[in-house]
Amino acid sequence: MVCDAIISSALGPWPLALTPRYEFKLMTGIYIHIPFCKTKCPYCDFYSFTPSDTQKDSYLKAVLLCLSSYKDKVKDGVDTLYFGGGTPSYFGGERIKKVIEYVRENYNLTDAEITVECNPSSVDEELVRCLSEAGVNRISMGMQSAVDNERKALGRSSDRRQVENAIRLFKAHGIDNISLDLMLGVPYQTRESLKESLDFIISQNVKHISAYMLKIEEGTPYAEMSLPLPDEDEVCELYLYTSDYLEARGFEHYEISNFALKSFESRHNLKYWHTEEYIGIGPSAHSFFGGERFYYPRDFASFLENHAPVPDGKGGDEEEYVMLALRLKEGLTEKGFYERFGKSIPTEISERAKNFEKSGLLTVTEKGISLTKKGFLLSNNIIAELLY
């Protein structure tokens, strides 16, 4: 299998050759993509479809088979396991449990963060019990909005009572590290309606919030519709408002779209932003493992047939590292960069950064470079300017 080739070559002398000082922590994250949804939301361009039970079963087998191909290559174990989608909860508690058990049996999975994304409408007692027994200790729930007409426009079938019930169930079974997804800039959203959603979130005592600005993706139904969307300036205000609101309530705005109470940051997602390694299983899942980036194509049948992943080049170079680090509040640190590359942040980057400092888009200190909230909003542009 090509996959073997990529990894075995990479596990040889590679880390030394590329980066003399840095050795990857060989604790790996595993992402498992569940490409299933009961219905497709009109804004979503993630890979998913409505499966039959047979398809769910064949998928379970394929996931386990795929996982088996990595077990000898992961040295020190797995410290984050993440089920994303699609709708993992729609895959079924038992199947998720089997995957977790497999990982536990074949990898060293101690002290790991195990997250499952859930749709409130597919959460029931049975699912929660299964997940709890399996050792799931973090839930990420796609609420998107607590306001009915916004949820309807987003194609979310559940209402906020279902969100409340789901959260109560998880907590009753001992899972209280819960994250809620909130969308900004959705149709009909105003400052007032956003406050309503935020008030609701706070009332639920969750530990983590992901607040994503809606992006209209080509090929989705949203791209074809004329929607009553707030304009660019309004979306920016909504974003800044959200940040202020949550910070005032003890949350740290630790990444462009993520907020957490102290020490409740998503450990799995931090791997992405720290340019650490992870294995992605499932169609459309991306991996950065053994220094290589590769992915499984958006093709369910091909995944079931156990086809090799598609190579996507070397990963972890300076450019990538800078680009990802700047998504975080802590930003691009001298310390991090030195540990990784054995040198200081290139002076041309710091020099260019100073131009943005005047406009209040970032801060440059001896510790490093980090974007402000206003800078987060312009991060694509700023990062491109800093790099090129």
In the bound complex, what is the minimum distance in angstroms from residue 221's beta carbon to other proteins? 18
Does residue number 244 form part of the binding site for other proteins (CB under 8 A)? no
Nearer to other proteins, 11 or 270 (CB): 270
Q: Please report which helix (H) or strand (E) contains residue 18, including its range.
A: helix 14-18
Does residue number 227 form part of the binding site for other proteins (CB under 8 A)? no
Does residue number 213 form part of the binding site for other proteins (CB under 8 A)? yes
d(CA 322, CA 71): 30
DSSP secondary structure code for residue 211 in this structure: E
Written as one string, the DSSP assignment of 196-247 is HHHHHHHHTT-SEEEEEEP---TTSHHHHS------HHHHHHHHHHHHHHHH
Which of residues 111, 161, 263, 388 is near other proteins by CB under 8 A? 388
Q: Extract the tokens encoding 236.
A: 């920016």
**Which residues ranging from 89 to 148 are in contact with other proteins (CB under 8 A)?**
none
Q: What angle, 0 to 180 degrees and rounded to 10, lies between the N-to-C axes of helices 318-325 and 379-387?
A: 150
Site string for other proteins, 81-100 (x = CB under 8 A): ---x----------------
Q: Extract the tokens encoding 235.
A: 């979306």
Which of residues 163, 235, 328, 362 is near other proteins by CB under 8 A? 235
Does residue number 291 form part of the binding site for other proteins (CB under 8 A)? no
CA distances from 302 to 105, 284, 291, 298 (A): 26, 11, 24, 9
CA distances from 336 to 214, 233, 352, 386 (A): 31, 34, 20, 18
d(CA 101, CA 306): 21
d(CA 118, CA 179): 10
Does residue number 272 form part of the binding site for other proteins (CB under 8 A)? yes
Which of residues 89, 162, 189, 257 is near other proteins by CB under 8 A? 257
In the bound complex, what is the minimum distance in angstroms from residue 129's beta carbon to other proteins? 27
Nearer to other proteins, 123 or 361 (CB): 361
Does residue number 381 form part of the binding site for other proteins (CB under 8 A)? yes
Which of residues 192, 218, 233, 305 is near other proteins by CB under 8 A? 233
Length of the chain counted residue by residue: 388
DSSP secondary structure code for residue 328 in this structure: B
Q: Are 242 and 211 in contact (CB under 8 A)?
A: yes
Site string for other proteins, 13-42 (x = CB under 8 A): ------------------x-x---------
Does residue number 348 form part of the binding site for other proteins (CB under 8 A)? no
CA angle 174, 114, 303 (to 5 degrees): 135
Does residue number 278 form part of the binding site for other proteins (CB under 8 A)? yes
Q: Extract the tokens encoding 262.
A: 């102290």
Q: How many chain residues are in contact with other proteins, going by CB under 8 A?
A: 49
Residue listed under structure tokens 């590769």: 294
In the bound complex, what is the minimum distance in angstroms from residue 30's beta carbon to other proteins? 11
Site string for other proteins, 303-342 (x = CB under 8 A): ---------xx-x---xx--xx--x---------------
In the bound complex, what is the minimum distance in angstroms from residue 278's beta carbon to other proteins? 6
Q: In what order do the strands lie in the sheet with 278-281?
A: 252-255, 258-260, 208-213, 178-184, 138-144, 113-118, 78-85, 28-34, 278-281, 286-289, 292-295, 310-314
d(CA 298, CA 296): 7
Nearer to other proteins, 13 or 219 (CB): 219
Q: Which stretch binds other proteins (CB under 8 A): 57-65, 102-110, 129-137, 276-284?
A: 276-284
Contacts with other proteins by CB under 8 A lie at 31, 33, 46, 84, 212-213, 215, 232-233, 235-236, 239, 256-257, 269, 272-273, 278, 280, 284-288, 293, 295, 312-313, 315, 319-320, 323-324, 327, 356, 359, 361, 376-385, 387-388
